[in-house]
Structure 1
Amino acid sequence: MNTDDIEVFVGAVSSGSISEAGRRLGLLPMAATRRLASLEESLGVRLLHRTTRSLSLTPEGEAFLPFAEAIIENEHQGRAQVRADTLGAAGLLRVSVPIAFGLRIVTPLIPTILADNPELQIALDMNDRLPDLTATGTDLAIRIARLKDSSLIAQKLADNTRTLVASPRYLERRGSPRSIEDLAHHDCLPMTGVTHWTFISGGADFHVRISSRFSSSSIAGCQSVCLAGAGVALLSEWAVADDLQAGRLQRIVLEEAAPEEIGIWAVYPTTRNVLPKVRVFVSALRAALQAETTIR
């Protein structure tokens, strides 16, 4: 099998058109069709049902597709490992990031990363849950947490300072909590499944049970409802900086207690050498986080 032929097959499936696959690869439609025919001949099976208007996988094509995608991805990774650094990163980078962090910190970086690396593609999954990196083919996940799974390969990118906040409207109506004990008498806005917030007082951890009638699977939901005046939220400094400056939210400082500080982590699926495409992304993100800290 010729990898150039396989690339036409994978491209045709992803784009829904042999002609489009050829265009992306710099081939004339007839040349792309010939390459696909050559692949089918070498395998001895038909991979695609094709008409003038549609394209669909045969059962044999469905079975072969995952292997074809892996062959192409491995080839791209192999080329990336040996290419000169001056040529930039290449290939498809699959990244998973939390929703709020992705919108506030990551997406502004994308245009520059792509401009600096013309052969790089980025598929950004914004999800507040950590995916199965191997099963989903994810190259890199960024997570903000106290990592508990020792099997994960993780690198800390920055500290993630958090603060308690509420809207002026809520604080006018309910008053401001002064101690961690006071939180039991306030409407708190946690992530789904969270029943306690952790604070540091006198060098010790205190797990404070919170009272809530609302929760969200995304921290962005907690922030939005907090802005609307529904209660007290525990949010990252980078997420609330603009709202604090504009007066849309107010910081709540408790007596002799501060929220537990967690980290921003780069999580990898394997211990193998980190590919240039991953290094480029992580380097840009680390610089952005340092700038964010400097600005604050």
Structure 2
Amino acid sequence: MDIASLTVLVEAANAGSLAAAARRLGLSPLTATRRLAALEAEIGARLMQRSTRSLALTPEGEAFLPYAQAILENEAAALASVRPSAAGASGLLRLTASAAFGRKVVAPVIADFMKANPQVCVDLLLTDALVDIVAQGIDLAIRIAPLKDSTLIARRLSTNPRALYATPAYLDEHGTPGVVADLIRHQCLAFSGTMHWSFAGGGHTNRVQVRARFSANSIEGLREMCLAGLGIAILSDWDVHEAVDDGQLVRFTLADGEPEPLAIWAVYPSSRFVPPKVRLFMAALETALR
């Protein structure tokens, strides 16, 4: 069975169109169409219903797709097993991360990774939205959040220390909170839709309703308003250490709790075979986070 044709099928199923699959594989749309047609002829069944605007797997295609994916994974595993580890990463690595963390932390690691692995190409998607990495053909997602149950594989890379921050001017005017309950009378900067902040302390969780004069769906928006002196925000150390060093922001603690900790996770589609490009980048990022 032709590996190139199987690759077209899998990429088309992930991307939702043959044209997108062709772009990802560096093929012309005509070549991708011919390879899919050749695979269908070999199998003796139509695997995809195609029109000018949409593409969908047939029942036969849905039944065959897991086997096609397994064949491609096994081929990649076989090749990796005979390549020397010193060969490094190669091919296209598709990554996604949140906008702020991607720019400040992930991008510098990518630059060093590409210098160390000249045969690798990287496509980085920066977004604060939750991406369907299977549907979009993403190899690896870097996420900072509690993870929900899913069929994806998650590997914990590092802790993500967070704390309360405000400008010196804000704290001079409004005072510095001493306990969780004090936050009720302060201006808080929160994620859109957030009604409460949770703090861990004394073996239990304290929750306080926040009065969010400003909210945003992006950590960058919250950081900028915090720097502008509009209130108190829960921010990650990696995002504000420079502002703290410069005296623009002050980090403070509460006597009865700290913001609930989060972790930095690497999320990827399958544990059966992790390509060298993914495995090596996760190791590079993990080292950088230390």
In the TM superposition, 1:144-159 aligns within 5 A as 144-149=144-149, 151-159=151-159
- SS of the equivalent of 1:190 reads strand
TM-aligned CA distance change 1:231 to 1:2, over 3 Å: same
Unaligned 5+ residue runs, structure 2?
Answer: 8-17, 39-49, 62-67
Q: How does 1:215-254 map to 2 (within 5 A)?
A: 215-254=215-254
Secondary structure, counterpart of 2:91 in structure 1: strand
Quote the Cα distance in structure 1 between the aligned partners of 2:174 and 2:259.
21
> What residue identity is the alignment partner of 1:198?
S
- Once residues 142 and 2 of structure 1 are traced to their aligned partners in structure 2, the CA distance between those partners, rounded to angstroms, is 33
Q: TM-score, normalising length from structure 2? A: 0.75
Contact 2:77 2:273 in 1 (8 A): no
2: CA distance between counterparts of 1:217 and 1:157?
24
CA distance in 1, matches of 2:175, 2:222: 20
After TM superposition, the structure 1 = structure 2 runs for residues 7-156 of structure 1, keeping only pairs within 5 Å, are 14=23, 74=72, 77=76, 81-82=80-81, 83-149=83-149, 151-156=151-156
Letter of the structure 2 residue corresponding to residue 140 of structure 1: L
Cα distance in 1 for partners of 2:153, 2:99 equals: 22
Instruction: Give the RMSD, CA atoms, in angstroms.
Output: 3.8
1:18 corresponding residue in structure 2: none
Q: Which runs of 4+ in 1 moved over 3 A?
A: 1-7, 9-15, 58-64, 74-80
Quote the offset at 1:10 in angstroms. Answer: 7.8
Structure 2: distance between partners of 1:287 and 1:226: 30
The residue number in structure 2 matching 1:294 is none
Q: Count the aligned residue pairs.
A: 261
Partner AA of 1:115 in structure 2: K
One-letter identity of the residue aligned with 2:80: Q
Partner SS for 2:280: helix
Q: Is the 8 A contact 1:162 1:236 kept in 2?
A: yes
Displacement of 1:148 after TM fit?
3.3
Q: CA deviation at 1:284?
A: 0.7
* 1:128 shift after superposition: 2.0
Residue aligning to 1:199: 199
State the Cα distance separating 1:12 from its structure 2 match: 11
Shift of 1:209: 1.5
Residue 265 of structure 1 deviates from its aligned partner by 0.9
- Equivalent pair of 1:197/1:207 in contact (CA under 8 Å): yes
Structure 2 counterpart of 1:181, one-letter code: A
Q: Bigger shift: 75-84 or 266-275? A: 75-84
1:260 aligns with 2:260: yes
Post-superposition offset of 1:129? 2.9
Change (3 A) 1:267 1:147: same
Per the alignment, do residues 287 and 135 of structure 1 end up closer, same or farther by CA in structure 2, a change over 3 Å counting? same
What amino acid is the match of 1:148? K
What code does the residue aligned with 2:153 have? I
Deviation at 1:160, TM superposition (A): 1.1
Residue 243 of structure 1 and its aligned partner are, at CA, apart by 0.8
User: Matched residues in 1 for 2:288 and 2:53: separation?
Assistant: 43
Percent identity over the alignment is 40
Q: Name the SS for the 2:190 alignment partner.
A: coil
Q: Conserved in 2, the CA contact under 8 Å of 1:143 and 1:267?
A: yes
Map of 2:11 onto structure 1:
none
Q: Deviations over 1:67-97 (max 9, x none)?
A: 9xx99xx599467634322211112111111
